[in-house]
Amino acid sequence: MKQNSQRRVHFQSGLLCLFAVALLLSLSSCTGNSATKTTEGETTSPPIEKAVQETQETANEKAKEMTDEINKDVNEAIDKIEKIVKTEAEWKAQLNSLEYKVLRKKGTERAFTGAYWDNKKDGVYKCRACELPLFASETKYRSGTGWPSFYKPVDDKSVGEKEDRSLFSVRTEVICNRCDSHLGHVFSDGPPPTGLRYCINSVSLKFEEKE
């Protein structure tokens, strides 16, 4: 009698163990299904992640459209480059005193005083004297010098270079290729991908924001 009682206890314990194992397997299966739902083997992203991804894709598309529009306007203007020649009297009548000093007499504005050294808006920087597109906001970076800095122009045809031996040194002057106005200088200490730093006077530029 005592042996039969012990057998029943062992049998019941075995059933409880089997039930516990089955319950754990069931819970594990449910947890795995709730973490990632699949349809025909493809993983479906949670709603929040999907919304963030869609927002990022929309922003990237708009940024690309803006860049394409800017490049189109710039290319059209550059393809139509024709030299602009004016007398000094005409330039003086068109420009204010600081603009004339920098653009026509190769002057330099004081660092951190210009309108665009810290400008972060999207658009195109044009020549103040003739409005030829020169630099795009995508190539502008903060150099810490106090002047607007770019690592490349919108097109090699838009800017010219001249040797500058003023101030007891040899530098490379940057000029507008349409009206020969002084813009600034270019140095070989810029960021990738060009390694160049076009250090430009704000007063030599006219910014056109892209809406």
> For residues 200, 202, 206 and 211, what is the CA-based torsion angle, rounded to 10 degrees?
100
199 is catalytic: yes
Distance (Å, whole) CA 136 – CA 154: 6
Strand partners, 175: 160, 182
Q: Which of 130, 176, 179, 199 is flagged as catalytic?
A: 199
* Catalytic residue numbers, as ranges: 199
